Chain A
Amino acid sequence: MMNLNLFNEVTAFIWQEGDMLDHGEYGGWLDLWTEKGTYIIPIDPRETDYENTLNYAYDDHHMRALRVQRLVGGESISTSPQPRTVRTLSRIRVLGDDGVNVTVRAAQNVREFRKESLKHYSADLTYTLVRAEGGFRIHRKVISLINSDDTLAGIGYIL
């Protein structure tokens, strides 16, 4: 029997996170994370030991804050002008719930527009969410691009 309450809670949380990223609410986004939370974009789809392999991003709290600063700081020619993004999150499924951590998988399609070019990135997102006051905190988010092992171009925003 599916726990629809839990499903609704995680869906609301994930949709809110996506909306924050598309609308540049980076301060609020940084607050969604646990202190030790990691934001990971792997290269090899079969890899599971992200810490000891090369990724596109393996951000702890410090690096997430720096990444946000780079996006808003106006010093980077690849993010000025900033890309516009619209992401659609769906196909959300709760994979596990041990009472503390909830593991969730979702589909994400991001459309990016910047300087004459419209791009599209599809990914599986796998979240480890921790129950916290007022909802959840993100302990881990793995963004598995379906073309992660192909050649990519610069991505000047937070996937």
Chain B
Amino acid sequence: MSNLIPAINLAIDPAELVQPDRVHTSLYTDPALFDAELEKIFHSTWIWVAHESEIPEAGSYKTTYIGKQPVIVVRDRKKAINVLLNRCRHRGATVCEHKKGKTNSFVCPYHGWGYALDGSLRGIPHPESYGDCLDKAELPLVSLRTESYAGMVFATFKDDIEPLEDFLGAAKKWMDLFMKQGAGYGIKVPGEHRFRFPGNWKIQLENTTDAYHFPLVHKSFLSSVDEQTLALFDFVKGPGYVEDLGNGHSVMVMIPDLVDLEADLDKPIPERFESLAAELRDEGIDELQVRRIVRAVGGSGFNLNLFPNVACSMAFFRVLQPVSVNETEIHHAVITMDGGPAAANRYRLRLHEHFQGPMGFGTPDDSEAWERVQKGARAGEDLWIMLNRGLPGEKPSADGLISDVSAETGMRAAYQQWKKMMTAEAK
């Protein structure tokens, strides 16, 4: 198991690079592997593109990427969600450059070809020169297969892969639990922090299922919270667990008491939420709903990693976007209660700002650690990244495999899926 694979002589065989307890350094550093990942992973499975609340009305859209391909996520007049390649069918220009907005159509700025919200080509300026050599029906914006679960919208280039719900499998019940943060109002994504770090995308993927780093990397965050919160986040020695949910998905339960936000509503309200609870009572909200809201405001006690590009991470959506072998863009999308009390939503916004984003008390330290992984991985190019933590205690569970909260079970799950997809025969 500890034999070296000299990277320089390696005819890359992804099957050899992922072992049950370790992965090869070239997974972070090899540009050829990165190009293969775009094709075999990002163009071959379900990729998260939006939460439904980001495109609430007919004509609402956002732009994003699948792998490195620009796409538009847009709601059409029939309220259906379309994911369209952001590329004019004439000469290839993007037809939309805004991050989000609302429109009646997409018009290419180069020669004025106009497309409807479902991607169909509607107008071509001065069509007479085409005579009968152009059929508009053959040149819509390319529309990708799109499916949703629990408000989360995914798209894929593949028409022949399993339905989204089959791919999510055991992760679905965790998505349902996560959405309880809406406290009955529903989930809304009103904004996000976007940042980049100079490192491979899988370093971030691992981090979402890494409880081990928390007390060390986030020491300055922990020093900034009250005693009760500090105790809550002291989970590395606690009763939490990590579970492999299949298909590369995993859940890390850090705070078991906060798995179901609608349970235990009769428990005392934590001190830090007392003034919020009082404010909600003053608004005339009944005691049960006050407790439901307050419990939801603090977020869920788990991180759900959905392979390959999104996580339901305690109180927000964490989205990763590969840029190059050594650069990754991250979005931390904030969640509020759609139409919920403004005071509760303000509390959630401030909690998000406290930890997340380029000026948060958590994210910059994560980012620094990830940057150092990428830098350090330039040394010893034939060495391995160790992922054997929690192996001795790992046991089969109803949905897969389970081990202690700081086990690297979730990372192993992701890399086994990586291996499966990277070694799959092209169809």
- B349→A53 contact, CB < 8 A: yes
Which chain A positions have C-beta within 8 A of B368?
77-78, 154
Report the minimal beta-carbon distance from B99 to chain A, rounded to whole angstroms. Answer: 7
Which chain A positions have C-beta within 8 A of B358?
56, 152-155
Report the minimal beta-carbon distance from B347 to chain A, rounded to whole angstroms. Answer: 11
- A70→B361 contact, CB < 8 A: yes
CB within 8 Å of B: which of A50-89?
51-58, 63, 66-67, 69-70, 73, 75-79
Which chain A positions have C-beta within 8 A of B359?
41, 56-57, 155, 159
Report the minimal beta-carbon distance from B224 to chain A, rounded to whole angstroms. Answer: 4
Is B369 an interface residue, CB under 8 A from the partner?
yes
Closest to B361 in A: A70
B interface, size bucket? 20 to 34
- B350→A58 contact, CB < 8 A: yes
Given A43-B191, A154-B195, 5 additional A-B pairs, CB 8 A: A44-B191, A53-B349, A79-B220, A79-B364, A155-B358
- A151→B329 contact, CB < 8 A: yes
Closest to B217 in A: A77
- A75→B219 contact, CB < 8 A: yes
Binding site for B on A (CB under 8 A): 41, 43-44, 51-58, 63, 66-67, 69-70, 73, 75-79, 149-156, 159
- A70→B334 contact, CB < 8 A: no
- A57→B353 contact, CB < 8 A: yes
CB within 8 Å of A: which of B195-248?
195-197, 217, 219-220, 223-224
Q: Can you give 27 A-B contacts (C-beta < 8 A)? A: A41-B359, A43-B193, A44-B191, A52-B342, A53-B190, A53-B349, A54-B193, A54-B334, A54-B352, A55-B349, A56-B193, A56-B359, A57-B359, A58-B350, A66-B224, A66-B361, A70-B224, A75-B223, A77-B217, A77-B369, A79-B220, A150-B194, A151-B195, A153-B367, A154-B195, A155-B358, A155-B359
- B191→A54 contact, CB < 8 A: yes
* Cα-based distance from A149 to B63 in the complex (angstroms): 14
Interface of A, helix, strand, loop or mixed by DSSP: loop
- A155→B364 contact, CB < 8 A: yes
Closest to B334 in A: A54
8 Å CB contact of B197 from A53, A55, A153: A153
* Cα-based distance from A156 to B345 in the complex (angstroms): 27
- B365→A76 contact, CB < 8 A: yes
- A70→B196 contact, CB < 8 A: no
Closest to B331 in A: A151
Which chain A positions have C-beta within 8 A of B223?
69-70, 73, 75
- B349→A54 contact, CB < 8 A: yes
* Cα-based distance from A149 to B194 in the complex (angstroms): 8
Closest to A66 in B: B224
Closest to A50 in B: B349
- A76→B364 contact, CB < 8 A: yes
- A56→B361 contact, CB < 8 A: no
Closest to A54 in B: B191
8 Å CB contact of A78 from B224, B354, B365: B365
* Cα-based distance from A70 to B192 in the complex (angstroms): 23
8 Å CB contact of A75 from B190, B191, B220, B350: B220
Report the minimal beta-carbon distance from B84 to chain A, rounded to whole angstroms. Answer: 23
Report the minimal beta-carbon distance from A35 to chain B, rounded to whole angstroms. Answer: 17
Is B114 an interface residue, CB under 8 A from the partner?
no
- B195→A77 contact, CB < 8 A: no
Is B363 an interface residue, CB under 8 A from the partner?
yes
Which chain B positions have C-beta within 8 A of A67?
361
Which chain B positions have C-beta within 8 A of A57?
353, 359
Which chain A positions have C-beta within 8 A of B111?
none
Closest to B194 in A: A151
- A56→B191 contact, CB < 8 A: no
- Known contacts A56-B358, A58-B353, A75-B219, A152 near B195 by CB under 8 Å: yes
Report the minimal beta-carbon distance from A85 to chain B, rounded to whole angstroms. Answer: 14
Is B395 an interface residue, CB under 8 A from the partner?
no
* Cα-based distance from A73 to B346 in the complex (angstroms): 28
- Known contacts A152-B358, A154-B363, A154-B367, A52 near B224 by CB under 8 Å: no
Closest to A70 in B: B220
8 Å CB contact of A55 from B217, B224, B342, B353: B353
Closest to A154 in B: B364
Report the minimal beta-carbon distance from B189 to chain A, rounded to whole angstroms. Answer: 10
CB within 8 Å of A: which of B292-321?
none
Which chain A positions have C-beta within 8 A of B342?
52
Which chain A positions have C-beta within 8 A of B195?
151-154
Which chain B positions have C-beta within 8 A of A154?
195, 197, 358, 363-364, 367-368
Closest to A51 in B: B346
Closest to B350 in A: A58
* Cα-based distance from A67 to B355 in the complex (angstroms): 11
* Cα-based distance from A52 to B224 in the complex (angstroms): 23
Report the minimal beta-carbon distance from B18 to chain A, rounded to whole angstroms. Answer: 29
- A52→B220 contact, CB < 8 A: no
* Cα-based distance from A2 to B350 in the complex (angstroms): 39
- Known contacts A52-B349, A154-B363, A154-B367, A63 near B354 by CB under 8 Å: yes
> Digit string of B344-383 for contact with A (CB within 8 Å is 1, else 0)?
0110011011100111010111011100000000000000
Report the minimal beta-carbon distance from B34 to chain A, rounded to whole angstroms. Answer: 19
* Cα-based distance from A156 to B353 in the complex (angstroms): 14
* Cα-based distance from A72 to B192 in the complex (angstroms): 28
